[in-house]
Amino acid sequence: MNTSLGRVSAVAGLALVAAVWWRWPPARHAVSLIERPIDAVQAGDAAALSSASSLSVRPVATHAPAPAAACASTALRWQIGALAIDCPAVHAAFSDSGSRRRYRIDGYGSVMHRVRIESVGQKVQSATATSDGAIYACRAEGCRGISIGPADLQGVRRLVFDRAVLNAATAGADLVLNGTVEVAVQTQRDEAVCAGQRLSIARSDGTLAGYCPDDGTGRVVRDDGGTSYRYADLDGRGIAVELDAQGRLQAIASGGMACRADDCAGVTLAMPDGSGARRLRLDGTMLQGAGGWMVLDGQLTLPE
């Protein structure tokens, strides 16, 4: 009899537990392979997963994977033969000496990845990459898969890799890069040169870029008594401003587009200051040509 009562009590207890579980199920934690990729599993977890499944898990502990936030503007895919490494780039740096510029992109994963790019203006001269001790490189036209965009209004350039091939220095598969990396290129020198004269340029192709005459400003007095001003930046973009002999605006031109005299809307030309320089203010000034149009906003200094 006691035995029967014990069995009934046990069954009743199990039923009660089942009812409670059904009413208040234990918390479940969803595991996302996107949020926590296999390559990011810690060494201890890797051993457990390897014994519990047929997956081959490679533990990594030297560097953390690139955070999702970094991949929004710094997404670079490395392809070396059958090996693909997504979004290792988490830090980009820039330095320059005149028109020669150097970009460096460091990526962190199970090994260190690094790309160095040298350019004159926006033209790539060379690129070198290292990955797990191997070296890859391209020169001049061989780097045609790499393009450097103009600086935007915040001084950020986009480096675009479109099936860019860097050849292996020794036997083995070449490196192929795809993706986009954003690099801040504003320098103290830019701030000094561009103080008081900076433009934003919106084009008919939908692009918006900043402009600073960081490669110099020229002034020539013409035979007719007028004055021509020439502005150039380190990307090779130029702007011309023409005044007549009375100091009135005749024309503004850039990239095969122009406006003339009264057709240059939104222009304010200030009187000379104590040094004889004048400020040219552009407020939505449109230049037009066969290649489309551009709208200039900002100001330039016309030196004496």
| Contact present, 90 and 66 (Cβ < 8 Å) | yes
Number of other CB atoms surrounding residue 177 within 10 Å: 26
C-alpha–C-alpha distance, residues 184 and 189, integer Å: 14
**What is the DSSP annotation of 20-85?**
HHHHSPPP-----TTTS-GGG--HHHHHHHHHHSS-------SSPPPPHHHHTTEEEEEEETTEEE
Residue 114, both tokens = 């690094």
Q: Can you give the pLDDT at residue 67?
A: 40
Residue 226, number of CB atoms within 10 A of its CB: 16
d(CA 41, CA 175): 26
Q: Encoding tokens for residue 117?
A: 């790019």
Alpha carbon distance 126, 115 (integer Å): 11
Residue 222: its pLDDT value, please?
Answer: 94
Its pTM stands at 0.52
Per-residue tokens: 11: 């069954």
**Tens of pLDDT along the chain (304 residues)?**
444 444 444 444 444 444 444 444 443 333 222 222 323 333 333 333 233 323 222 232 233 344 434 444 557 888 888 887 776 656 777 777 666 788 888 876 666 788 999 988 788 999 999 888 889 999 999 999 999 988 887 778 889 999 999 999 988 899 999 988 888 776 555 566 677 788 889 889 888 888 888 778 899 999 999 999 999 887 788 999 999 999 999 999 999 999 999 899 999 999 989 888 999 999 999 999 998 999 999 999 998 8
Distances (CA, A) of 94 to 49, 115, 155, 157, 189: 41, 12, 11, 10, 13
Of 100, 79, 70, nearest to 161 by C-alpha is: 79
Continuous segment of H or E residues that includes residue 18: helix 2-23
Report d(CA 105, CA 179) in Å as an integer.
12
Task: State the Cα–Cα distance between residues 127 and 140, nearest whole angstrom.
Answer: 9
pLDDT value at position 151? 80
| Contact between 87 and 66 (Cβ < 8 Å) | yes
Contact between residue 287 and residue 254 where contact means Cβ atoms under 8 Å apart: yes
Q: In this structure, what DSSP letter does residue 148 have?
A: E
Domain coordinates of the chain in residue numbers?
A: 62-184, 188-302
- Dihedral of the CA atoms 137, 141, 147, 150 (nearest 10)? 120
